[in-house]
Amino acid sequence: MNRENMKCQDPLIRITNFDEVALGYTYEQAMNEASRCLQCKKPLCVSGCPVNINIPKFIKEILDNNLENALQTINEANLFPSICGRVCPQESQCEALCVLNKKSTSVAIGNLERFVGDNSTFKMVELKEEIAKKVAIIGSGPSGLACAYELKKMGYDVTIFEALHITGGVLAYGIPEFRLPKKLVQDEVDKLVKIGVKIKTNYVVGQTITIKQLEEDGFQAFYIASGAGLPKFMGIPGENLIGVFSANEYLTRINLMKAYQNTSQTPMYNSKNVVVIGGGNVAMDAARSAKRSGAENVYVVYRRKKEDMPARVEEIHHALEEGIEFFFASNPIAIHKDDNNKVNGIECITMDLSTIDEFGRNNPIPIANSNFNIQCDTVIMALGNHPNPIIKKNLTNLEVNKNGTIIVNEKQQTSISNIFAGGDIVTGAATVILAMGAGKTASIAIDEYLKNK
């Protein structure tokens, strides 16, 4: 039996709205897809999932028509199936190891996980007896939320401090509505509030309040999950021109401030021809958002080949369907301006990809005299992010790498014994599920630390 394809909004219609693109499985599709699972005795897919969900078990429970049990099985390892089912790069994680790949295509594990998350009701988890010890979580992205959930279940008094007015981290302000509806993210956060996690928004730790002050307030352990929100630029001429954006700013205007809606007070830059630089999920999100915001032509410039792109395969496929055009093996060298200091084009150079680097990837080398221009009025830089240094500023003993990421041991413990860290602030820009996995690991270590204190 072939893999069940998920129904999507028609590309011509969806580029005119911000509604979700992939519409989810029907009941019948979920049953068909679940029946493809071979129920392997030694399931490799489980080791491909960074939080080791018992995948065959939850799939069997779908087949048994017991979605509540399927949800419970997933929740033992992952609180957010509706989110991970939508955004995990399954093709390089759980699904990559599915034995069906040898003969046909893997079971659509992510799609089934989404089906369970979307179609079952969350049962209140059992909380252990309350422990009168306060833990502070800094940042409400997936890593902070996962850590808070685990610690609350253990009985700790947990408070999340979030710099923004809204919770969810990149899930709320980065990934667009058409890929991850924001209501879903807030529903997941509400589950935490229901079990007693306290959330304080508009708190920039390091500025509004320091870790030292929190310690004076009785907090005994900390989990820093402040992500990597400082955009990278290329350092090429023209990056300060009017019409150049970081993907962070562009996506925040759209996702958080709903700049595309007529009622929004946040202005939307009026673009006709947009060039996005980069090849990851951030680049795909920026390009597809630009298309939906009325740009006539959207181009992505990426220095390697299509198969090297770090974006999820589904996002690349959807971007192509939506008419986004790609310049592969190309790198920008200057952004050009008109008389009003506004962007009017970008100059790129073609890259030679014939040499391979030590990691087995193409090593792009500029080809002399291969320059070409793309006419555009907007350039969006989607090159990745650095960690924000604000927390480190007040913590001189906190060891960090040259790039600002926090150094931790295998338990996510930092150089300061009661401070733990995880997610993008440790790894640099990575994935939702890796950030959640780190939060879970840290929760176990924090428990151990507080018990021995």
What is the binding site for ligand FAD (CB under 6 A)?
A: 87-89, 138-144, 161-164, 169-170, 174-175, 203-206, 225-227, 229, 251, 281-282, 285, 312, 388, 390-391, 423-425, 429-433, 435
Which lies closer to ligand FAD via its Cβ, residue 431 or residue 443? Answer: 431
348 binds ligand SF4 (CB under 6 A): no
94 binds, among ligand FAD, ligand SF4, none (CB under 5 to 8 A by kind): ligand SF4
Which of the ranges 30-38, 46-54, 200-208, 389-397 carries the binding residues for ligand SF4, by CB under 6 A?
46-54
Return the DSSP state at 37.
-
Q: What is the DSSP string of 262-309?
A: TT-SS-----SEEEEE-SSHHHHHHHHHHHHTT-SEEEEE-SS-GGG-
Closest contact distance (angstroms) between CB of 255 and ligand FAD is: 8
Task: Measure the CA–CA gap between 420 and 439, rounded to whole angstroms.
Answer: 9
Residue choice 29, 75, 90, 159 for contact with ligand SF4 (CB under 6 A): 90
| From 84-92, 155-163, 185-193, 261-269, span contacting ligand SF4 (CB under 6 A) | 84-92
CB of 186 to ligand FAD, least distance (A): 13
- Residue 145 lies near ligand SF4 (rule: CB under 6 A): no
Q: Which one of 37, 55, 274, 284 is in contact with ligand SF4 (CB under 6 A)?
A: 55
Rg for the chain, CA atoms, rounded: 23
Q: Which is nearer to ligand SF4, 55 or 300 (CB)?
A: 55
Beta strands in 12-147 (DSSP E): 134-138
Question: With respect to ligand SF4, which residue has the nearer C-beta, 51 or 146?
Answer: 51
When the beta carbons of 51 and 224 are compared against ligand SF4, the nearer one is 51
Tokens at residue 353, please? 């990809």
Q: Residue 143 binds which entry of ligand FAD, ligand SF4, none, with Cβ cut-offs from 5 to 8 Å by kind?
A: ligand FAD
Q: Which single residue is written with the structure tokens 């049953």?
A: 31
Place of tokens 């699904």: 95
What is d(CA 230, CA 14) in angstroms, rounded to the nearest whole number?
30
Task: Choose the stretch contacting ligand SF4; rule: CB under 6 A; options: 98-106, 107-115, 162-170, 326-334.
Answer: 107-115
Nearer to ligand SF4, 83 or 138 (CB): 83
Distant-in-sequence, close-in-space partners of 255: CB < 8 Å, separation ≥ 6: 172, 173, 174, 175, 176, 177, 182
285 binds, among ligand FAD, ligand SF4, none (CB under 5 to 8 A by kind): ligand FAD
- Report if residue 37 touches ligand SF4, rule: CB under 6 A: no
**In sequence order, what are the beta bridge partners of 222?**
136, 419
Written as one string, the DSSP assignment of 82-116 is HHHHHHS-GGGTGGGG-GGGGTS----HHHHHHHH
Indicate which single residue of 21, 34, 62, 88 sits in contact with ligand SF4 (rule: CB under 6 A): 88
Q: Are 139 and 227 spatial neighbours (Cβ–Cβ below 8 Å)?
A: yes
Asked if 175 touches ligand SF4 (CB under 6 A), the answer is no
423: helix, coil or strand? coil
**Cα dist from 193 to 159, 187, 197, whole Å:** 10, 10, 5
Q: Considering beta carbons, is residue 162 or 447 the nearer one to ligand FAD?
A: 162
Q: Which stretch binds ligand SF4 (CB under 6 A): 32-40, 90-98, 198-206, 280-288?
A: 90-98
Q: Which is nearer to ligand FAD, 205 or 351 (CB)?
A: 205
Nearest distance in Å: CB 437, ligand FAD: 11
CB of 176 to ligand FAD, least distance (A): 8
Give which of ligand FAD, ligand SF4, none residue 82 binds (C-beta under 5 to 8 Å, depending on kind).
none
Q: Within a 10 A sphere around the Cβ of 108, how many other Cβ atoms?
A: 25
CB-CB contact of 62 with 73 (8 Å): no
Of residues 386 through 445, those in contact with ligand SF4 by CB under 6 A are 433
Cβ–Cβ < 8 Å for 46, 53: yes
Among 79, 94, 228, 351, binds ligand SF4 (CB under 6 A): 94
Among 29, 75, 78, 413, contact with ligand SF4 (rule: CB under 6 A):
78
69 Cβ contact list (under 8 Å, min separation 6): 61
Applying CB under 6 A, among 49, 163, 170, 376 the residue interacting with ligand SF4 is 49
Q: Which two tokens stand for residue 271?
A: 């673009």
| Beta-carbon-side half-sphere exposure of residue 97 (alpha carbons within 13 Å) | 15
Pair 136, 222: CB distance under 8 Å: yes
For residue 323 the two structure tokens come to: 């008419």
Q: Which residues of this protein are in contact with ligand SF4, per CB under 6 A?
A: 49, 51, 53, 55, 78, 84-85, 88, 90, 93-94, 109-110, 113, 433
